[in-house]
A and B are shown apart, each in its own frame.
Chain A
Amino acid sequence: MPFLKPDLLAPASQPRFRPASHAAMPDCYIANVRPGQPVLVAVHGISRNAAEIAMRFALDPAFAGTTIIAPLFTREAFGQYQQLLARKSGQVRADDALLSLLDDLATEYGIAADRFALFGFSGGAQMAHRFAMFHPHRVRRLCVVSAGWYCMPHTDIAYPHGIGDGKGGAIVGPEFLDIPTTVIVGNRDTRVDASVRQDEIINLRQGRNRLRRARCYTRALRSYAQEQGKDSAPTLLTLPGMSHDFHQCVTEGGLLRIAAQALL
């Protein structure tokens, strides 16, 4: 056919759905799967837009040389995945499930998933920064965007609101402070709706909205790093004019360009 245009063919980097091999791991969307190149794990929020997140990263030229993995955490199988809490019998902690998935993908595709960049948006940002606390040796760089609230680096508050073990100690070691961390939030992400938890313990330590909470968290991280004798410091970036909307942050706020600088 003379009118056939090569550019009408599908982009090679589009993601595809990969069903879980067993119940203890999540389904996921994967793209650019090639052995030996860096791996990015991108975690969705409670809208569970894993497919969209995978596609946005996969089609962005900056991530063309990165294997993209976007797990899909269902409430039924993984409970409160944001807080790494399995609430019911039969549910699996999201961090354990993610590690199982990465092992499975490493076996199947030969990807180097022992250390990876970790990105999360909203509920996914909650999951991501908690995952980094529990598994710091696995996370090469961390980028958390628009988390609803944070696990504060305070040992006097019990997990998941803080890192306290309930006995005055810490439930995690300080190694997570060594991970290059970028916290991003829209400067219009100040609306307090039903999706923004308003527990007293959160409001007291972190403020009422996501913008305020991101500032409190990064400040607390810096203080905790100083206490631990570390010179690491998280970067806080605000996206001008952006609210709590992944699509808007990507298309209007340049989120992926910033994420590329933070993660690659």
Chain B
Amino acid sequence: MTIHDFQSLDGVAYGERLERRLAAAKRAFTTRNVDLAAAARLVRSGRRPQAGDLILARVTGLGQHRRLENVHGRRGDLYEGDEIIIAYGNRYAPDQFEAYVPENLGPCHLVAGGGVAALVTSRHASIKPATRIEVIGALVRADGKAVNLADFALVPTQSSRPARVIAVVGSSMNAGKTTTVSGLIHGLSRAGFSVGAAKLTGTGSGGDLWSMRDAGAGLALDFTDAGHASTFGVSDEGLGHVAQLLLARLGAAGMDIAVVEIADGLLQRETAALALTGHARGWFDGFLFAAADAMGAAFGCEWLSKRGIAPLAISGLVTASPLAAREAAMATGIELADLASLRDPVAAARIAFSTPGMRVAA
């Protein structure tokens, strides 16, 4: 439905017109848990957006993101003039954008293909300018409160977490964390376990969840299920809530083992905070460290070691190169697990149930 169609619905009640307009818009993955019937009207100004607030926006100029992942995971083409339903959220992506929730409902950017709106403040040199959007209106309930992802988060459960939880952290974005997670899920599934998966931090996108499910995860959840479009800027307490909520949910679903991914690199604030809190609180039984190269592996393992964490193994892109893998092994003294090992049921179980030893070289 175009804006013209919308305006031509003379005599149709506002609520029904809004419902039809929202139904016709391209709805992003990040909003998949939201019941749009909660939206009573659109607010066009006079309100400061919060992370997680839903908006109806119009694409005004195509840039880096020319596709939008819909609620079913299909990445559909975008066209200028398209109306889209997305959520505000900050973005921290060294390979793409740094972006923040704006202070008003003015024009901003589509900063993630999963459907995140923010204002870009910096971008990687090889990345195109962000796709531009204008906000048609924020979705608001009858009581004037914004429709926010947090309102549709999973309800906390008192279930125990899965008996074994392996956290995957990495040296940077695109170091091979998701490949590590998928490989380990596959190997452990073949080893006879019910494996659950969760992406605890990052920016809302279905790609990682789909790959977790494809690998054999019985249930895969992410922070959007906990009510966040992204976790950049979320407080330590908020991150802890996400982790505990998702782990308890995986436990309630009967998963034997959980493989969880913490996005970006260890130098990213939220990544470091959650890794250390999870370790200190006993939420994670072991860590895999995905490194892009040998130097990253050495630094990352030393970083973890100084904080009392010894990874079970090093994985990621570094394992694709025998020479780099050899360097990493010599520098750290820690076993390297390539993709074939992670996918192998015997090797995957051995890695997952190993006892971390403080074997990091000085």
Contact = CB atoms under 8 A, between A and B. Distances in A.
User: Are both chains from one complex?
Assistant: yes
Contact of A4 (B158, B193, B240, B346): B240
Contact of A72 (B158, B240, B241, B346): B346
A49 B189 CA distance: 11
Nearest to B283: A8
Contact of A51 (B161, B240, B283, B349): B349
Contact of B191 (A9, A49, A74): A49
Interface string A171-182: 000000000000
A123 interface: no
B50 to A, nearest CB: 21
Contacts of B283: 8-9
Contact of A14 (B163, B241, B349, B350): B163
A50 B348 CA distance: 12
A47 interface: yes
A49 B192 contact: yes
Contacts of A72: 346, 350
B354 A16 contact: yes
A48 interface: yes
B353 A10 contact: no
A10 B237 CA distance: 20
Contacts of A29: 353
Given A10-B282, A16-B355, A17-B355, A52 B161 contact: no
A48 B240 contact: no
B160 interface: yes
Given A49-B345, A51-B353, A52-B349, A14 B164 contact: yes
A246 interface: yes
Interface in B277-293: 277, 281-283, 285
Contacts, number: 84
Interface residues of A, number: 27
Given A3-B240, A3-B244, A5-B248, A247 B192 contact: yes
Contacts of B19: none
Contacts of B354: 16-17
B98 interface: no
B165 interface: yes
Contacts of A14: 163-164, 285, 353
Contact of A55 (B161, B163, B282, B285): B163
Interface in B141-165: 156, 158-161, 163-165
Contacts of B353: 14-17, 29, 51
Contacts of A27: 350
Nearest to B237: A1
A8 B248 contact: yes
Interface in A241-255: 246-247
Interface in A11-54: 11, 14-17, 27, 29, 47-52
A27 B345 CA distance: 15
Interface in A142-178: none
B86 to A, nearest CB: 29
A76 to B, nearest CB: 11
Contact of A7 (B160, B240, B281, B355): B160
Interface of B: 156, 158-161, 163-165, 191-193, 237, 240-241, 244, 247-248, 256, 277, 281-283, 285, 345-346, 349-350, 352-355
Interface of A: 1, 3-5, 7-11, 14-17, 27, 29, 47-52, 55, 59, 72, 74, 246-247
30 contacts: A1-B240, A1-B277, A3-B237, A3-B240, A4-B281, A5-B248, A7-B158, A8-B161, A8-B244, A8-B247, A8-B283, A9-B283, A10-B161, A10-B163, A11-B160, A14-B164, A14-B353, A15-B353, A17-B349, A17-B353, A47-B192, A48-B346, A49-B191, A49-B345, A49-B349, A50-B349, A52-B191, A52-B193, A55-B256, A247-B192
Q: Which 7 A/B pairs are nearest by Cβ-Cβ distance?
A: A51-B349, A52-B192, A17-B353, A49-B192, A9-B282, A7-B160, A8-B161
